[in-house]
């Protein structure tokens, strides 16, 4: 049997009608019937029960349908993977990036990929952690940059790739703004504005836990905002604080101070499907799985 014949059989088995299958395949109905009879002769028995209203699969037809789909999927995957290597200009790498990740991080991933496959085309997709995990699970992205901790399905692999220090972000009008660094005791009872827990519950709890373990018994605000919204509100709320990286010091009206003696640390991971077949992806994950850590210039 040829792959072409298997595609013909799958079309008939899915349409359960020769004319509709022939139209789907852009061939004539007699040609399709002839090819199905050829397969049946090679199999040694009927695959379809023909009737006036259409066709039904025999037990042998059910077996061949499942096997045919597996074979055709394998053939399509083999062709795609081979083309990605033989025609590097057509290779695509889809990178998901969690909201708020440092800009240099996807840039380092891109540089790592380009050093191994210079012609690969990179497509970026941003979004919260939960969305990135769903995109990975649906195979809509090849690799996702996420914050740890995060709950991942069993079919996903991951490797830690970078750490980022978080400090205290506040209005320039805050009474803490004059300090060079913030001690946990300075934050006792202070209102802390964070992102909604539902958008990344594990990260939310980890950040809050790290603060409290250091003796910063903050009061979690009833106001829950995205990181970008928090940075817009804080200049207007001198009695409140937030958590952020030193990058937030660039926002007008805000100051950033390190938390001493121990900062809050966020770890970024790269996650991917363990069963992924994209050879472009493997050029990156092989390096990351080996313990490579990324850092800004």
Q: Phi/psi at 206 (nearest 5 deg)?
A: -65, -45
User: Mean pLDDT across the stretch 263-292?
Assistant: 87
Burial 233-246 (b: 16+ CB within 10 A, else e): ebbebeebbbbbbe
Q: Is the pLDDT of residue 199 over 90?
A: no
Q: Which residue has the higher pLDDT, 284 or 234?
A: 234
Residue 86's alpha-carbon distances to 83, 91, 117, 286, in angstroms, are 5, 9, 12, 20
pLDDT digits (tens, 9 = 90+) for 250-273: 999 999 999 999 999 999 999 999
Max distance between CA atoms of the chain, in angstroms, equals: 88
Q: What is the pLDDT of residue 76?
A: 80
pLDDT digits (tens, 9 = 90+) for 41-78: 999 999 999 887 789 999 999 999 999 999 998 888 78
């Amino acid at each position: 049997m040829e792959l072409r014949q298997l595609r013909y059989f799958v079309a008939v088995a899915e349409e359960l009608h020769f004319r509709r299958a022939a139209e789907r395949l852009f061939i004539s109905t007699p040609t399709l019937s002839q090819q199905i009879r050829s397969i049946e002769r090679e199999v040694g028995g009927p695959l379809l029960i023909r009737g006036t209203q259409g066709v039904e699969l025999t037990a042998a037809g059910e077996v061949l349908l499942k096997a045919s789909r597996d074979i055709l999927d394998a053939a399509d995957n083999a062709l795609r993977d081979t083309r990605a290597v033989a025609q590097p200009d057509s290779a695509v790498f889809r990178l998901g990036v969690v909201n708020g990740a440092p800009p240099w991080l996807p840039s380092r991933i891109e540089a790592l990929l380009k050093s191994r496959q210079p012609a690969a085309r990179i497509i970026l997709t941003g979004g919260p952690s939960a969305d990135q995990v769903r995109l990975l699970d649906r195979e809509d992205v090849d690799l996702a940059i996420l914050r740890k901790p995060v709950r991942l399905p069993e079919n996903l692999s991951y490797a830690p790739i970078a750490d980022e220090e978080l400090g205290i972000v506040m209005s320039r009008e805050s009474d803490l703004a004059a300090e060079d660094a913030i001690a946990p005791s300075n934050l006792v009872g202070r209102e802390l504005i964070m992102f909604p827990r539902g958008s990344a519950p594990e990260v939310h709890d980890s950040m809050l836990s790290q603060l409290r373990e250091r003796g910063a018994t903050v009061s979690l605000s009833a106001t829950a905002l995205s990181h970008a919204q928090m940075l817009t509100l804080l200049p207007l709320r001198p009695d409140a604080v937030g958590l952020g990286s030193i990058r937030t010091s660039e926002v007008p009206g805000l100051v950033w101070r390190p938390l001493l003696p121990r900062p809050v640390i966020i770890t970024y991971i790269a996650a991917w499907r363990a069963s992924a077949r994209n050879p472009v992806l493997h050029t990156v994950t092989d390096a990351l799985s080996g313990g490579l850590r990324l850092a800004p210039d």
